[in-house]
Structure 1
Amino acid sequence: MSPSRTERLLNLLIALLNTRYGLHRSDLRETVYRDVAGNDVSFGRMFERDKTDLRNFGFDVETVTDLGWSEDDPATTRYRIGKESNRLPDVELSPGEWTVILLASQLWERAALGTAAANALRKLQASSRLTDVELPLGVQPRIKPAGKAFDDLVAAMHAQHPVSFSYLAGSTGKEEQRTVEPWGLGSRFGQWYLAGYDRTRQAPRHFRLSRLTSAITVLDKERYSPPADFNIRAELDRLPELPLRTAEVDVRAGRLLGLRQRALPGDIGPSGTPDAGYDRLSVQYRDVEVLAEELASYGPDATAVTPDDLVTAVRRRLRAAADFCAAPIPVIDFPNQPRPGSVRTRTSEDQLKRMLQLVPFLVHNQGLHIQEVAERFGVTRKELEGDLQILICSGLPEGYPDDLLDIQWEDDHVYITQDLDLKRPVRFTVEEACALLTGLETLNGLPELAEGGALESVTLKLMAAAGEEGLRAGMLAGPEVGPADSATLDVVRQAIESRSQLRLVYLSPLRDRVSERNVDPLRLYSLDNTWYFEAYCHSAQGLRNFRLDRVQELHPNGNAASTRLQPNEGFPAKLFTPNDDDTTVTVQLTRRGAGLAEDYYAERTSPLPDGGLLAEIRFGNTAWLPMFVAQHGGAVRILEPRELADQSRAWVAAALARYGG
């Protein structure tokens, strides 16, 4: 969509909104399309595409025909958009409800639903003035979707397209091709599940996303109809938790302290003795793929001994990693991307969606500073001024000055005095409704929110505002975000509120040791149900992030917090804090692993013909990169620096040698 087309669509929208009886195609061609060259046939195709675009943006383009005539006759067919057509109702929110909405909109860590949640929040801000609220300390949960597969499945599910993928069947241990009609996605037991109709088995089935061994292929030429009353949360509530099993693992002497602390005490059975320099441990687990991913990352420091399906799963990951490391290297090129860059390039479609949110937002929030408006919409001031320049040139075709949008920002404060019936945002899309309503349901796991009443009241208001789209929110269910150790979380939260220093005994798996530190806690947040706190570490003399489940001891040391540093700006908090001495690493990601570029805040990316990515990522500690490559089993490899690529390849080869090569 070119800028000229963006402006044309805006003018078409305004014209169809501001006509009572409708406009003929001939009227529109003489006004909105007067600068467009071509014959009647090409104009007709363009007009049909534009109508489709307006419908995709949420506006119902109505067709009105003269009595007794057919819609196929352009001379007797008129078009209009009702002033109430698909508009989001006004939603009045209290400060407490705004707090809950902000948390729900910020839950999604990234990708498609993160964008949808941000769009939904801006629509609410455009229908009800945003009250200044502060997020409570210690209540900043996040949901991390399961990679690129999650985005592809959500898109297919909402468009009602079947999908196909390769899947490692838990019952047989064999890789199989499946074709599925996706009904819902949800998180249970720390895993994401797809529920749907399996065309191969001709029955409803569940699929763990961790067992997908290929990228998702969307069959966009086909459609299906899901069950009308399907609810993924109710479906997963009936799913039994995997049974607890025991694995035997040989661990290099003096290594992997965290795994050793989880091992069962005593002897572990008659399966033989470990090799020299290794200890045999007994480790309990539920999901074989989760443990296999962990053991693969340990390379030659850990070897699965029993059961056989665990050994096979680890070997499969290592074999895939070795094959990918040995594959031909593509040309490393990042064309036309400044540094740092965004993983996702904004499009003209994004611009038009933004402008349709911008006008009602300005109507309800008159006089905001232009920089604040730009920050609310996640764009630069230059981009925002480009939007405003297009808007002030848009209006009723061949109208008077009062028939144009009137927006002023000469004193750096933005005012709008003529809105031409764009003063209310369009209703939520299915994705936006799902993102917010699923987020609100997820927040029920936090007692301090569930007890206040604001969570329930704002959910009812949004359900009413979302209409039919809100009913489809039952297709998604987020993870339980309540902390496993609420006592530790309370200690950190109290220290943040009182500006107190904490004494911390902490297990660092990357360094494979336990350390003691004094820290000034600054912020608590979560990733699914794993909680972290950001703090100034006096030993490291910098900001660090600590996982609560790796804290072995924690108590106030009697000192007041002494740092003047504030938490890293922005939300969500980044797990990795960039430093000037970081190493820039070029990695190659397969299509299945493309989501890692955003997980690790890639500075530059470049698409590859097979759907994968080249990415440049900054790492402070490169010693764990061989573990990173082995863990993801053929989804990622290091290309540069060469010494890191060689180390990763050697790490995987040494691990495979433990399994017979």
Structure 2
Amino acid sequence: MSTSIDASERRLNLVIALLGTRQGHSRHYIREHVNGYARIASTAAAEVTAGVAFERMFERDKETLRELGIPISTTATHDLDSAEQALYRIKPGEYRVPEIRLDEPAMTLLAVAANLWAEAAFSEAAQSALRKIAARSGSSWYDDDTTVQSRIRTREPAFEPLWTALRQGNPVRFHYRGAGTETATPRLVHPWGLGSKYGEWYLSGLDLQKSEQRNFRLSRIQSEVTVLTEEQLTRPARFSIGTILDGLGKQEPYRAVVIVPTGSTHSLRSREGTTVLDPRGPAGTDTLSISYREPELMADDLAALGAYATVMEPRDLREAVVARLQAAAAAARQAPPVTYDPARPAEAGFGPVLAAPRGKKKDSRDRLLRLLSMVPFLVANPGIEESELAQEFGLSAKQLSKDLATLTVSGLPGYLHGDLMDVSNEAGQVFIRDAETLASPLRLTQEEACALLVGMDALTAIPGTREARSLRTAIDSLKRVAGEDAWLADAVALQLLTSGELATIAQLQALIGEGDAAEISYLVRSRDELTQRVIEPRRIFSIDSQWYIRAWCRRAGEMRSFRVDGIRSLHAAGPQTQHGASHTQTAPASSNGVYTPGAHDQQVQLVADAATAQRLAPAYGATLHQLPPGADGTERLGVQMLVGESRTVAPLMARLGGHAHVVAPLALREETFTWLTASLAHYGATEDDDAVGESTKTTPSQDG
């Protein structure tokens, strides 16, 4: 048969042939009987070229299958009449996921762990692993229907190359901006682990230039990560990224002295470790002593308070706050894009909407893995709706039709009735028969094992699952299935909760279970106002490390999302009263749903550097627009978003410290500039002062 058929189809037939033999097949047999390889040529001259082409193709296919985790064993033949001495076979026991028995609660927890990666690099791998285990355990499909949901994002460009290097044991090169500095320096690092805490991803590894273990925040990596694939290094056997994450933020805290107006700045007053000192400031003010561990984050928070907080000490923190305000004011003074038309403020001079980032380019390897996954899924779910099958594998109708057609012409050598898989579509329902060879799913890949193991481990910290017997059973079973890849559970880790949130989440989950309402004292940060509300909690969810409760608010008369760290007190308030279908909306399906637009929201346009824009977009459900580079050549993006209260914009610009500025509406642009200059005046500084700038030193953070 011609070799012109799709490479994934040829390799699929090779897998079926090698799985379907007990003795193994020789090269001669494979060439003559497996669809996709050119048969022996009719003339000796033609065979010289055809034979070399077959050898190259077969060697590439073997290497590809092994790279995909499909083991090919080679045995010697004792057939004295045969000139060949090798037989090839895929042993079913080495190919398939080991048998696993999980009950319904355990399968549900696996679904929760898989869906945790719904917006991250492991999304496809996690769902593929869930399909495989569900099929192998004889279970039907399970949804994530728990009252607590989490979503982790891996949007830092450095994540995927670092993950590749970690798996392969390769060192990496990148430029890194350390805490309190503006200059990035080259680093050569051997990755040991990747972990998420405080909503940030961290790399821990051996700094090969300094010969010591260091931690690096991925958001501070300022260049592409180069993986040095030619070098292979050994990772410490007992290393655990979880231990590193436990240590972050545990150093002796710093203390700041801040003057604030009496009765204001509740966000500072309610921080753990804050105390009110003896009055030292002007009348109508309080002097607070504030505990903090991350100088950069503390400076962000204080800059966002503007004139409502005056840092007295330490000097480094005061200078860092002033530097942010100065940079924000300088950015606010910039003219809008040259094409900005005041008569058409909605345009803001923005270019076309920025295309969504392309995922990894799919190739014949990805299609082969999909086909191998689709067969056991169809066996386990006979009669599945065609639309559901397409949605499950993320395919268009055209792509699904092509995949099903490929399965129909694939099977055991001979390719007669009974050898080929029989795929039929009956009234929109898909069935597969004669697929016994591929009925058991391929064993978990490294990414699949990592996605579920790390997700399951993260769940142990969430109230309601921490002590569940099913969770421990699922973790133990999953480690057996992962086999030699179980080490990844120590190399990648997530910390989804802080100790302060744990008790509140446990209380909220208990109220959901009992069907009770809650009376809460809630801090509305945008107004610096403590409010009293009665809410009827439906579901708890997190995005990265920020936790929310989705609840019916009796005061607002609609569903709202409340930040858990904004709840200052919580008490049961009797049975819930809103049980109608219109009030059953729970957690948003994605991070874009955290910000719920209101009828009176205002449209705002910003210009931001590319990294800042990419972080703002999911938080506000914003659209990004292409813009020409800035005067210094930096990449800029237009950010178009809705805000509920315009007063929140100026503090946001202060927090961003010059990395973004308002261009429309004009009144808000002017209002923001006025707020920033007034805040500087409160510190006795102006936009042009040289006392603080890029060279200002701040107290170093724990990362490298």
Class of the TM-score when normalised by the shorter of the 2 chains? 0.7 to 0.9
Deviation string, structure 1 residues 156-215 (Cα, Å, up to 9, x no partner): 3223332344445569998644321110123567865432111221222233556x2624
Change (3 A) 1:496 1:479: same
User: Where in structure 2 are the equivalents of 1:398-547 lying within 5 Å?
Assistant: 399-419=415-435, 421-446=437-462, 448-479=464-495, 481=497, 484=500, 488-527=504-543, 530-547=546-563
After superposition, residues 5-404 of structure 1 pair within 5 angstroms as: 5-18=7-20, 20-24=23-27, 28=31, 31-33=35-37, 50-62=61-73, 80-108=89-117, 110-131=119-140, 138-143=147-152, 147-167=156-176, 169=178, 176-187=185-196, 192-209=201-218, 212=220, 214-215=222-223, 217-223=225-231, 224-236=233-245, 241-249=250-258, 251=260, 256-262=265-271, 263-267=274-278, 281-299=288-306, 301-302=308-309, 304-314=311-321, 332-334=351-353, 344=359, 347-348=362-363, 351-378=367-394, 384-396=400-412, 399-404=415-420
* Distance in structure 1 (CA, Å) of the matches to 2:418 and 2:663: 59
Mean alpha-carbon deviation: is it higher for 225-234 or for 294-303? 294-303
Q: Which has the larger radius of gyration?
A: 2
In structure 1, the residue matched to 2:701 is none
Which sits farther off after the overlay, 120-129 or 227-236?
227-236
Q: Is the 8 A contact 1:505 1:517 kept in 2?
A: yes
Counterparts of 1:10 and 1:323, CA distance in 2: 60
Counterpart CA distance in 2 for 1:183 and 1:606 is 37
Q: Deviations over 1:596-651 (max 9, x none)?
A: 54555566787999997858665343633454454345666667777767776776
Contact 1:129 1:364 in 2 (8 A): yes
Q: 1:599 to 1:127 in 2, by over 3 A?
A: farther
Q: Give the CA deviation at 1:242.
A: 1.6
Tell me, in whole angstroms, the C-alpha distance in 2 between the residues paired with 1:639 and 1:45: 59
Distance in structure 2 (CA, Å) of the matches to 1:396 and 1:647: 73
SS in structure 1 at match of 2:96: coil
Tell me, yes or no, if the aligned pair for 2:148 and 2:539 is still in contact at 8 Å.
no
- How far apart, in 2, do the equivalents of 1:459 and 1:115 lie? 20
Task: Verify the 8 A CA contact 2:519 2:570 in the aligned structure 1.
Answer: yes
In structure 2, the CA distance between the partners of 1:470 and 1:422, relative to structure 1 (3 Å rule), is same
Structure 1 contact 31–398 (Cα < 8 Å) conserved: no
Equivalents in 2 of 1:584, 1:396: separation in Å?
A: 61
Q: Name the CA shift for 1:206/1:501 in 2 (closer, same or farther; >3 Å).
A: closer
Does structure 2 conserve the Cα–Cα contact (< 8 Å) formed by 1:607 and 1:614? yes
Q: Secondary structure at the match of 1:283?
A: strand
CA distance in structure 1 between the aligned counterparts of 2:413 and 2:199, rounded to whole angstroms:
56
Measured on the aligned residues, the alpha-carbon RMSD in Å equals 4.7
Native 8 Å contact 2:126 2:452 kept in 1: yes
Shift in Å at residue 549 of structure 1?
2.6
Q: Distance in 2 between matches of 1:510 and 1:622?
A: 8
Give the SS at the match of 1:122: helix
Matches of 2:128 and 2:117 in 1, distance apart? 12
One-letter amino acid of the structure 1 residue matched with residue 204 of structure 2: A
Return the alpha-carbon distance in structure 2 between the equivalents of residues 355 and 443 of structure 1.
31
Greater alpha carbon shift after TM alignment, 58-67 vs 105-114: 58-67
Flag structure 1 segments of 5+ consecutive residues without an equivalent: 69-73
Contact residue 180 and residue 198 of structure 1 kept, 8 A: yes
Tell me, which stretches of 5 or more residues in structure 2 are unaligned?
40-45, 338-348, 688-704
Q: Given the superposition, is the C-alpha separation of residues 332 and 136 from structure 1 closer, same or farther in structure 2, using an over 3 Å criterion?
A: closer
SS of structure 2 residue aligned to 1:204: strand
Aligned to 2:300, the other structure's residue is in SS state helix
Deviation at 1:299, TM superposition (A): 5.0
Cα distance in 2 between the residues matched to 1:231 and 1:642: 52
Please state how far the C-alpha of 1:456 moved relative to its aligned partner: 1.8
Deviates more, 1:393-402 or 1:170-179: 170-179
For residue 194 of structure 1, what is the amino acid of its counterpart?
L
Q: 1:601 to 1:351 in 2, by over 3 A?
A: farther
- Over 3 Å counting, the alpha-carbon distance change for 1:178 and 1:119 in structure 2 is same
Seen in structure 2, the aligned counterparts of structure 1 residues 484 and 320 have a Cα distance that, compared at 3 Å, is: same
The alignment status of 1:621 with 2:644, answered yes or no, reads: yes
Cα offset, 1:428, TM superposition: 1.9
Q: Is the partner of 1:502 in helix, strand or coil? A: strand
Residue matched to 1:577: 596
1:146–1:190 CA distance, 2 compared to 1 (3 A) = same
Which residue pairs with 2:655 in the alignment? Answer: 631
Residue pair 1:481, 1:526 contacting (<8 A) in 2 also: no
- Cα separation, 2, equivalents of 1:614 and 1:26: 58
8 Å CA contact 2:121, 2:153 repeated in 1: no
Q: Is the contact between residue 550 and residue 560 of structure 2 (CA under 8 Å) also seen in structure 1?
A: yes
Q: Structure 1 residues 331, 258: closer, same or farther in 2, change over 3 A?
A: closer
Tell me the distance in 2 between the aligned counterparts of 1:47 and 1:186. 40
Worse-superposed segment, 112-121 or 618-627: 618-627
Aligned match of 2:695:
none
| Residue 590 (structure 1) aligns with | 610
> 2-side partners of 1:324 and 1:13: how far apart?
60
SS at match of 1:157: helix
Distance 2:277 2:350 in 1: 53
Aligned residue type for 1:566:
T
Structure 1 stretch displaced more, 114-123 or 628-637 = 628-637
User: What's the TM-score once normalised by structure 1's chain length?
Assistant: 0.80
Once the 2 structures are TM-superposed, how far is the Cα of residue 382 of structure 1 from its aligned partner? 6.0
Q: Compare 436-445 and 623-632 and name the one that shifted more.
A: 623-632
Q: Contact between 1:495 and 1:501, CA under 8 Å: does it hold in 2?
A: yes
User: TM-score, normalization: structure 2?
Assistant: 0.76
State the Cα distance separating 1:586 from its structure 2 match. Answer: 7.1
1:148 touches 1:595 (CA, 8 Å); kept in 2? no
Q: Distance in 2 between matches of 1:222 and 1:639?
A: 48
Do the aligned residues in 2 keep the contact of 1:532 with 1:547 (CA within 8 Å)?
yes
Listed one character per residue, the Cα deviations across residues 363-407 of structure 1 (whole Å, up to 9, x for unaligned) are 122233334434444556665445323432434577224333322
Aligned length: 646
Tell whether the 8 Å contact from 2:118 to 2:152 is kept in structure 1 after alignment: yes
Q: Which amino acid aligns with 2:216?
A: F
- Specify the code of the residue in structure 2 equivalent to 1:219: V
CA deviation map 1:18-69 (0-9, x unaligned): 455335389549841559xx9767776666555444333321345667799x
Deviation, structure 1 residue 506? 1.4
